A and B are shown apart, each in its own frame.
Chain A
């Protein structure tokens, strides 16, 4: 039989032909994954904005004090939920991520971006800012202030309060004297001339 070897030899060709027909349908399924674009909508975004006048589940902002930091027209000077160590640590974490690039880890207004030419923000440790109520910090984060952009998109409302609480912590700590430290813990402090931890370390 002459045909045999020929048939064998054509096998790779057939195999090749079959796989050329292969498609990537499972790789690229017709579904939306986050930020995938779609020409169905004029702006090309598959993530749709919330229609005007509607409230998404879980985003009802009925508690005005919590979401604006104001009681009537005045800023409140308390955190609208119980504050414990975890809240302060959370505030520290968020502060170091979102605020320290400009305000510095100590809140003195000497962050990295300021050193690269951004307008220098006031230090948190000036008298005026030590007197402002906590609700004011919440408001600055939510709505911005002057040359400072708002951080409403990046920080959830509860975390904004944690940051506000942490700013108070910074203010206390930067104006503390040795007498504020319980006597039995003074030994744990680094010596006076130890360099202060400053700037983003990462």
Chain B
């Protein structure tokens, strides 16, 4: 019987056996990358809301403090989404005929909640708490990004476990003075590591990485 394959194909077959490892490695890498990508974590996608509320206008332009609207962020796990009454503090007089704000006025008249669409949503098996982060000098923008530049709110970070842990292992890289927590234009100084270590000691920040911190 004559040969079906030419001799030179031997090289190909050896190459492909060898290359298989790389192909496999590539697939694993691609899968991991995809999993952490903004596409999979839904990060950086502006979310359409029933009212086109703009942090860019209210925070960046008017300089309103986060706590004016997110009233419970300092003393509760939940930051709080403002009730319609808080919008009406100003919008009963300002832009009070704008069509854009009609859902707000309807909600105020009928006492029916505006149904904001969640932007951030951790799985229910994860415990998160705003008050501790605020109290220990972690700024809003460290986690939520440039909120003062968002015409519609989006999620900046991946919110994956690796992201939480990166900071829980090295809080000194992110901590800032307590007085700057709500400052949206804060830039970490050049000597962040040095300042960070000082603040970690001063605020007695622990490195919390045990599973039961977040899965309880």
Q: Which residues of A contact B (CB under 8 A)?
A: 26-29, 31, 33-35, 37, 43-45, 96-98, 101, 112-113, 116-119, 147, 149, 153-154, 199-202
Contact = CB atoms under 8 A, between A and B. Distances in A.
Given A43-B113, A202-B63, A154 B123 contact: no
Nearest to B67: A97
Given A96-B65, A97-B65, A200-B63, A33 B124 contact: yes
6 contacts: A27-B124, A27-B125, A101-B90, A116-B94, A149-B85, A149-B92
B106 interface: no
Contact of B184 (A35, A43, A154, A202): A202
B62 A45 contact: no
B90 A153 contact: no
B68 A101 contact: yes
A18 to B, nearest CB: 17
A153 B124 contact: no
Contact of B124 (A26, A112, A201): A26
Contact of B93 (A31, A147, A153, A201): A147
A33 B89 CA distance: 27
A27 B123 contact: yes
Interface residues of B, number: 31
A116 B93 CA distance: 11
A154 B71 contact: yes
A123 to B, nearest CB: 19
A31 B65 contact: no
Contact of A200 (B65, B67, B81): B65
Nearest to B63: A200
Contacts of A117: 93-94
Given A96-B65, A97-B67, A101-B64, A118 B182 contact: no
B113 A101 contact: no
A45 B92 contact: no
Contact of A202 (B65, B93, B123): B65
A201 B184 CA distance: 11
Contacts of B37: none
B90 A118 contact: yes
B89 A26 contact: no
B94 A113 contact: yes
A201 B63 contact: yes
Q: Which of B85, B89, B92 has the most CB of A within 10 A?
A: B89
Contacts of A29: 124-125
A103 B183 CA distance: 20
A118 B124 contact: no
Nearest to A151: B89
A190 to B, nearest CB: 20
Interface in B93-149: 93-94, 111-113, 115, 123-125
